[in-house]
Structure 1
Amino acid sequence: MQQPVIVMNQKVEREHGRKAQMSNIGAAKTVAGLISSTLGPCAMLKMILDPMGGTVLTNDGNCILREIDVVHPAAKHMLELARAQDEEVGDGTTSVIVLTGEILSLAQPLLERNIHPLKIVKGMVQALTDALQIIEQVAVTIDPTDREQLLEVVRACLGTKFGSREEMLMCKLAVDATLRVVMTSAITGQKEIDIKRYAKIEKIPGASIEDSEVLDGVMFNKDHIHPKMRRRIENPRVLLLDTALEYKKAETTISVEVTKDTDWETLLKQEEDYVRNLCAHIIAFKPDVVITEKGASDLAAHFLYKANITCIRRLRKTDNNRIARATGATIVSRVEELQESDIGTGAGLFEIKKIGDEYFTFITGCPNGTACSVILRGASKDILNEMERNLHDAMCVTRNIILEPRIVHGAAAIEMHTSARLMEKAKSITGVQQAAYQAIAMALEVIPRILSSNCGANVIRTVTDLRARHALPSGSHWGVDGIKGDITDIRVLKIVEPASVKIQALKTAVEAACMILRVDDVVSGTKAKSDRPEKKAAATQEDAPDGHE
């Protein structure tokens, strides 16, 4: 079985006008159809074979589209939507693709009626503006410091994921990790949350999912460099370096002439004195732990061990930055410029433990630190990878709520509410733009349709019933129970989602659909590699020697 290839793998030739538009719409619908079964709590998983022979098991829209091989240019454009959505808000990647595919599908009959694409686009943009206003009106502001409300929002996000069996544990991990890395700017007072850099997820196969935890500090996969150095230190003084603790090699090639046996000893003594001076500068500040991003020689390890200092070398830059944020230390580039204020004293415990066959270093007990490590335990690497993707989405949702604390009803309630209000407004629009305006309203119904389809409910009956309930002024809270398939009051189920995710998904979907509709020509930009066969044959005859044609 080979890696799936979306849309035919043929050479893209010039397509003009209506043919180009229909081809692009067909490619977009194919991509949307591929991942529509991964929406909702009853989502199916996709098994993707990568080029190296490995497998990926996931229902994360962005991950699926990142792994598959696509040839058609419009399909490639669809893949970019999921990536943009993931980078911006971290959730709603599947919704964006499904919504874009549905908008284009409903635009197809309009094109067949010879309505000009720019008139369709104008109607869609007007519908987008009105839809965003409707979402803003029904969005509710919450208190981002209320942990219970944060957990509710994150639970709604994780309920559709593969790891939903342990959803409360995963929700707590996501909320704890995100709250740990919140930094408030002293100048502007704005909050900064960089979960990608300062909330590192460490995956260790083995044990059970319940053993996963958020450390009040950092953890990395390293051991010390001398077997007799201390493995456990309470309240350590931590020194972080960005320089090598070994003899500095010459930047240019220099030749040294050794004529006597004492010359060699002199050279070795120079190296030893250089390393001794480096270590003396460090020892003078009495740190307990020295961590460097570069190398550390055996001689430096000897001097540091004699001074009862534990040393770790060749640490990643990203890990070093996290330790600096957790312990309050400053990364030093030159040992000679070391100051007392550069030493980190914010950690409560330094410990090296063996988990499985590998050694891990823990620096924990950092109450004032703004960096953390999340340890994920699980049965296999596939499960851990999927848990990591789900946890990343959950942390992104938590970040969005802290930065912009506005929520809307989930479980397709907000989509149906927006659809019903747009249908009402469409009556006041005249001309051919009304059809494009209504297309956006009808496209929003694809979310409840797929949710009910994925859990085995009667799709037509469910969507018709929902449409009738949302036609009433007070029906904005009715949605689809993604597990049972019933129409339920979302206020009872407490399914809420960040308004920023819904707004971003709608903006991205409509703008992408408009862009694809405005394409009227697809031209290949590659040259033909070989000339025509008859030219080659003629050249061969001309080059042949006389009498040997």
Structure 2
Amino acid sequence: MAQQQQPLIILPEGTTRNLGRDAQRNNILAGKVLAETVRTTLGPKGMDKMLVDGLGDIVVTNDGVTILKEMDIEHPAAKMLVEVAKTQEDEVGDGTTTAVIIAGELLKRSEELLDQEIHPTIIALGYRQAAQKAIELLDQISIDADDKDTLLKVAMTAMTGKGTEKAREPLAELIVGAVSQVVEDGKVDSEQIKIESKDGAAIEDSELVSGVIIDKEKVHPGMPSEINGAKIALVNSAIEVKETEVDAEIRITDPAQMQAFIEQEENMIKEMVDELVAAGANVLFCQKGIDDLAQHYLSKAGILATRRVKKSDMEKLAKATGAKIVTNIEDLSADDLGDAGLVAEDKVSGDDMIFVKECKDPKAVTLLLRGSTSHVVDEIERAVEDAIGVVASTVEDGKVVVGGGAPEIAIAKGLKDYAETISGREQLAVTAFAEALEVVPRTLAENAGLDSIDSLVDLRAAHEDSIYMGLNVFEGGVTDMKEAGVIEPQRVKKQAIQSAAEAAEMILRIDDVIASSSQGAAAGAPAPDMGMGGMPPM
């Protein structure tokens, strides 16, 4: 009698596995669904999404990366496209929706090629060749520019279609002013532009402060609320009696000794305040605590002080005022102090804030954004962050392209010509890549309520004469985008095309999804219910 062969079990119980075409189909479907979700938010006529979390908190936005971050996404392939949006946000600050919908369209086109029995590796290779050629074509259609007028147009284009649209001109002035102020050696550290947002006023009341706003109040009511010609000390240690390094016990046998002990502590704190006065400081920002007694002495000395200031704010204060952050107050000298024309405590929307203004050539500035409600202010802040990112990219690269879907049509036209020079099946993948890029002008037309086919045909015809012809979604025709002032940084398009191509290529190369039991549903198939104790269900 033949011995019955024992089944070989490699994967743990409850693991699900999708192989070959099923795995590809599932992953492509996930990418397409995600792209469709954010697609309606693209362009000046894009709609907003309302996202409600488990606690009932509401976010209303049309910012692609915010939507994707707030959504509770389970599918592993969809998570890869969320990473595309996050990378786009980190690198450029704008174009997140564009990157995701191009990636989704590339996956959709690849499905058609897979149905024609073209191997995924050939499609991936074709996409890689197309992406490289697309970047070359993008360089050819780019315009050199870094003057203020161009920067203003770039900022306004980034804010069109967002909550800031009605006040985009004054906001663009503030943003360009902020970015121009923090440029160092041709590079922009956007971390040095602090954004403080407060509701209870109109968007037009937003202002650019040549210095830093600290969301704190002075520590003692007796301190002055306003100091002109401020000399600022930044201290990152506590102004209080220092604890001993080791546990120590002090035995006091006489009331006089007790008095002497208290006086000694008082003198230590007084000496610290005297050090500040001797150095010439009249404003103190402390990263740690300030003792009650120290507050009293600082108040008597006429010094405006605040405590528990965030480390990031201390660094911005140093950049804005030229002060050095001191650890030991005994080492403080006049050279360590920073300068500001005015330091004042002011009430904004019911909260006390300390304004450090009128700094000489500050390398850190603050944008105080206002809006009618907290949801409005949050959306303004997201739009302003995008605009800061695109202005910074333009300052660093000095290269821009026009908007309105014009670059995508120009690149698609160039790619179709390039495809004819390629032999082999990769030609089909390059053509598919070209057609996928046309999703941007097509979506712009759909979101504006225009006929997408007519718009695409008109755009292609117009590009025979000029590469700057784009879709005017407000009037419904084809216009010269360069003259209309619709301008975007080259880096936004470059990053979107590269990220989308790489993500689509990575997803295409997956032919096997192995998910553990807890992730079974996420991978597209529910884990089998094994019932009690691993036995088959009754």
Q: Normalising by the residue count of structure 1, what TM-score does the alignment of the two structures yield?
A: 0.90
Q: 2:503 aligns with which of 497, 507, 512?
A: 512
2:188 counterpart residue number = 193
Compute the displacement of 1:36 (Å): 0.3
Q: 1:485 to 1:311 in 2, by over 3 A?
A: same
Say yes or no: does 1:375 pair with 2:368. yes
User: Do the aligned partners of 2:15 and 2:516 also contact (CA within 8 Å) in 1?
Assistant: no
User: Do the aligned partners of 2:163 and 2:376 also contact (CA within 8 Å) in 1?
Assistant: no
User: Match of 1:230, SS?
Assistant: coil
Structure-2 separation of matches of 1:315 and 1:156: 36
Say yes or no: does 1:218 pair with 2:219. no
Compute the displacement of 1:468 (Å): 2.9
388-397 vs 259-268, which deviates more? 259-268
Give runs of aligned pairs for residues 321-470 of structure 1, distance below 5 A.
321-345=315-339, 347-470=340-463
User: Match of 2:40, SS?
Assistant: helix
1:490 counterpart residue number = 481
2:4 counterpart residue number = none
User: Do the aligned partners of 2:16 and 2:517 also contact (CA within 8 Å) in 1?
Assistant: no
User: Match of 2:442, SS?
Assistant: helix
Q: 1:455 to 1:532 in 2, by over 3 A?
A: closer
Q: 1:537 to 1:494 in 2, by over 3 A?
A: closer
User: Do the aligned partners of 1:46 and 1:57 also contact (CA within 8 Å) in 2?
Assistant: yes
Question: Can you list the C-alpha shifts for 1:292-339, whole angstroms capped at 9, x where unaligned?
Answer: 111111111122222222221111111111111111111101112112
User: Match of 2:344, SS?
Assistant: strand
Count the aligned residue pairs. 516
353-362 vs 210-219, which deviates more? 353-362
Structure-1 separation of matches of 2:349 and 2:173: 26
- Counterpart residue type for residue 410 of structure 2: H
1:161 counterpart residue number = 162
User: Do the aligned partners of 2:321 and 2:360 also contact (CA within 8 Å) in 1?
Assistant: no
Gaps of 5+ in 2: 1-13, 520-526
Compute the displacement of 1:438 (Å): 0.4
Structure-2 separation of matches of 1:527 and 1:401: 45
1:5 counterpart residue number = none
Compute the displacement of 1:270 (Å): 3.2
487-496 vs 325-334, which deviates more? 487-496
User: Match of 2:161, SS?
Assistant: coil
User: Match of 1:234, SS?
Assistant: strand
Compute the displacement of 1:424 (Å): 1.4
1:28 counterpart residue number = 31
Say yes or no: does 1:128 pair with 2:131. yes
519-528 vs 173-182, which deviates more? 519-528
- Counterpart residue type for residue 28 of structure 1: G
Structure-2 separation of matches of 1:78 and 1:356: 39
- Counterpart residue type for residue 409 of structure 2: M
Question: Can you list the C-alpha shifts for 1:469-495, whole angstroms capped at 9, x where unaligned?
Answer: 33x2x3312111122332222233121
- Counterpart residue type for residue 406 of structure 1: K
Q: 1:339 to 1:516 in 2, by over 3 A?
A: same
Structure-1 separation of matches of 2:150 and 2:458: 30
1:111 counterpart residue number = 114
Between 1 and 2, higher relative CO (CA 8 Å, sep ≥ 6) is seen in: 2
1:276 counterpart residue number = 270
User: Do the aligned partners of 2:462 and 2:478 also contact (CA within 8 Å) in 1?
Assistant: no
Q: 1:63 aligns with which of 46, 57, 66?
A: 66
User: Do the aligned partners of 1:455 and 1:484 also contact (CA within 8 Å) in 2?
Assistant: no
Say yes or no: does 1:87 pair with 2:90. yes
Compute the displacement of 1:233 (Å): 1.2
User: Match of 2:122, SS?
Assistant: helix
Structure-1 separation of matches of 2:450 and 2:505: 32
2:7 counterpart residue number = none
Q: 1:266 to 1:56 in 2, by over 3 A?
A: same
Structure-2 separation of matches of 1:116 and 1:537: 41
Give runs of aligned pairs for residues 236-315 of structure 1, distance below 5 A.
236-315=230-309
Compute the displacement of 1:51 (Å): 2.4
User: Do the aligned partners of 1:237 and 1:289 also contact (CA within 8 Å) in 2?
Assistant: yes
User: Do the aligned partners of 1:100 and 1:509 also contact (CA within 8 Å) in 2?
Assistant: yes
Q: 1:51 aligns with which of 46, 51, 54?
A: 54
Question: Can you list the C-alpha shifts for 1:361-397, whole angstroms capped at 9, x where unaligned?
Answer: 1111113111111111110000000000000010111
User: Match of 2:375, SS?
Assistant: helix
User: Match of 1:43, SS?
Assistant: coil
Say yes or no: does 1:149 pair with 2:143. no
Question: Can you list the C-alpha shifts for 1:216-249, whole angstroms capped at 9, x where unaligned?
Answer: 1111122212212111111111111001100112
User: Match of 1:284, SS?
Assistant: helix
User: Do the aligned partners of 2:241 and 2:265 also contact (CA within 8 Å) in 1?
Assistant: yes
119-128 vs 384-393, which deviates more? 119-128
Compute the displacement of 1:531 (Å): 10
Compute the displacement of 1:526 (Å): 5.1
1:37 counterpart residue number = 40
Gaps of 5+ in 1: 1-10, 185-190, 539-549
Structure-1 separation of matches of 2:176 and 2:254: 68
User: Match of 1:456, SS?
Assistant: coil
Q: 1:501 to 1:224 in 2, by over 3 A?
A: same
User: Match of 1:363, SS?
Assistant: strand
Compute the displacement of 1:251 (Å): 4.2
Structure-2 separation of matches of 1:54 and 1:526: 31
User: Do the aligned partners of 2:181 and 2:363 also contact (CA within 8 Å) in 1?
Assistant: yes
